[in-house]
Amino acid sequence: MKNTLFAALTALVLSTSAYSAAPDSIESLRATAAAPVVSPFRRAFKASRFLSLSGWVTLRGNASVREGATFLSVPVSGNTTLYGSGARTGTVWINKTVMVRLYPGQTFVNETVPIYEYVPVYDGGRYVGSTNVSGSVRISGTLSGSWLQLSGSGNLSGTLFVNDRR
């Protein structure tokens, strides 16, 4: 509102001074008054917006199972890049350790891995900030001999409030 009011007053002052200069013709007056006036405040204005990011991640891992073990730590890892609203993250590497409870005779394992990561965000190759992305990955696998192999996929998402310099 202030920018618009300032621009209107500036245009009025410029057109009044052009009129008082007694132009030779109406066309020269019209050309002077029609020149666009760019407020210095217009350049300083920053737009704000939310960036919504999402991406799909696949985690995989395996571990050796000792005879008679009831609990097992399985390292799982994967990577992803999140996209949205014209922006993207760098490659997000995810490394988690899953605690698995094993029962006698069990051959199938199903677990949920919560993911919370802090990632940098780029828009058009320009760094615009960092944000938290979160989600969960449902992993499952089978116990084969003395090896447990796990894999699964899930969605990660996050938002970032950006003050654009455009």
Q: What is the pLDDT of residues 41-76, one digit of tens each?
A: 555 556 788 889 999 999 999 999 998 889 999 999
Q: Do 122 and 69 reside in the same domain of the chain? A: yes
The pLDDT value recorded for residue 75 is 97
The pLDDT value recorded for residue 105 is 86
Q: Do 124 and 56 reside in the same domain of the chain? A: yes
Range of the domain at 151: 48-163
124 three-class SS: coil
When divided into structural domains, the chain yields a total of 2
CA dihedral 119, 122, 123, 127 (to 10 degrees): 120
Would the pLDDT of 110 be above 70? yes
Whether the full predicted model's pTM is greater than 0.85, yes or no, is: no
Structure tokens of 139?
Answer: 């992993």
Q: Do 38 and 52 reside in the same domain of the chain? A: no
